Amino acid sequence: MGTIRKIVEGVQFPMLTLVAGHSGVHRRVTGINVVESIDLIMFCRPNELVVTTGINLSQQEDSLEQLVKLAYSKKVAGFIINIGPYIPAIPESIIAFANEHDFPVFQMPWHCRVADLLKTTFQFIANHHQEHSIEEKVLYNLLFHSKKQMDTRKVQLAQLGFPQGRELAIITCTTIGVQSSIDRYEVIIQFAFQHRYKRFLKLKHKNHLIFLIDRAQINTPNIPFSKVVEEIYEKIKQKNGFLDIIIGKGNYQKEHENIRKSYEESLTVIQLAQLHNNRFLYKYKDIGAYQIIMAVQNQPLMQSFSHDILGQLQRYDELHNTDYIAFLRIFLEENGSTSKISERQFIHRNTVLYKIKKIESLLDMDLTNPFTKTNLYLAFLIEDVLTHQ
Of the candidates 264, 287, 310, which is a domain's last residue?
287
Q: Do 239 and 110 fall into the same domain?
A: no
Mean pLDDT of 67-83: 94
Report yes or no: 72 and 46 within 8 Å, Cβ to Cβ: no
Q: Do 281 and 174 fall into the same domain?
A: yes
Per-residue pLDDT reduced to its tens digit, 24-58: 887 889 899 999 989 888 889 888 999 999 998 87
- Residue 11 belongs to some domain of the structure: yes
pLDDT score of 291: 76
In three-state secondary structure terms, 224 is coil
- Mark out the alpha helices in the chain (DSSP H runs): 4-9, 63-73, 92-100, 114-144, 150-159, 186-196, 225-240, 259-275, 288-295, 299-320, 324-333, 338-345, 349-363, 370-387
What are the distances in angstroms from CA 125 to CA 12, 115, 382?
12, 16, 51
Separation CA 219–CA 216 (nearest Å): 9
pLDDT score of 145: 83
Separation CA 110–CA 2 (nearest Å): 25
Phi, psi of 81 (to 5 degrees): -110, 120
- Percent of the chain exceeding pLDDT 90 equals 59
Q: Where does the pLDDT of residue 11 fall: very low under 50, low under 70, confident under 90, or very high at 90 and above? A: confident
Mean pLDDT of 299-320: 93
Q: Which amino acid is at 77?
A: A
Hey, what's the torsion of the CAs at 219, 220, 222, 228, to 10 degrees?
-140
Which CATH number covers residue 234? Answer: 3.30.70.930
Per-residue pLDDT reduced to its tens digit, 171-225: 999 998 767 889 888 888 988 998 899 889 999 998 999 999 999 999 899 999 9
Q: Do 281 and 303 fall into the same domain?
A: no
Report yes or no: 191 and 200 within 8 Å, Cβ to Cβ: no
Structural domain including 337 reads: 297-387
Rg (CA), the chain: 26
Of the candidates 130, 154, 188, which is a domain's last residue?
130
Sheet holding 208-214, edge to edge: 200-205, 208-214, 168-175, 245-249
Q: Where does the pLDDT of residue 1 fall: very low under 50, low under 70, confident under 90, or very high at 90 and above? A: low
Q: Do 322 and 270 fall into the same domain?
A: no
Q: Do 185 and 307 fall into the same domain?
A: no
Is residue 168 within a helix (H) or strand (E), and if so which, with residue range? Answer: strand 168-175
Give the residues across from 200 on adjacent strands: 213
Which CATH number covers residue 324? Answer: 1.10.10.2840
Separation CA 183–CA 178 (nearest Å): 13
Report yes or no: 20 and 65 within 8 Å, Cβ to Cβ: no
Say whether pLDDT at 376 is over 80: yes
Q: Do 74 and 118 fall into the same domain?
A: yes
Q: Do 148 and 85 fall into the same domain?
A: no
Write the DSSP assignment of 46-114 as a string of letters: TTEEEEE--TT--SSTTHHHHHHHHHHHTT-SEEEEEESSS-SS--HHHHHHHHHTT--EEEEETTS-H
Report yes or no: 172 and 260 within 8 Å, Cβ to Cβ: no
Q: Do 10 and 124 fall into the same domain?
A: yes
Q: Do 55 and 75 fall into the same domain?
A: yes
- Residue 241 belongs to some domain of the structure: yes
Structural domains of the chain, count: 3
Q: Where does the pLDDT of residue 130 fall: very low under 50, low under 70, confident under 90, or very high at 90 and above? A: low
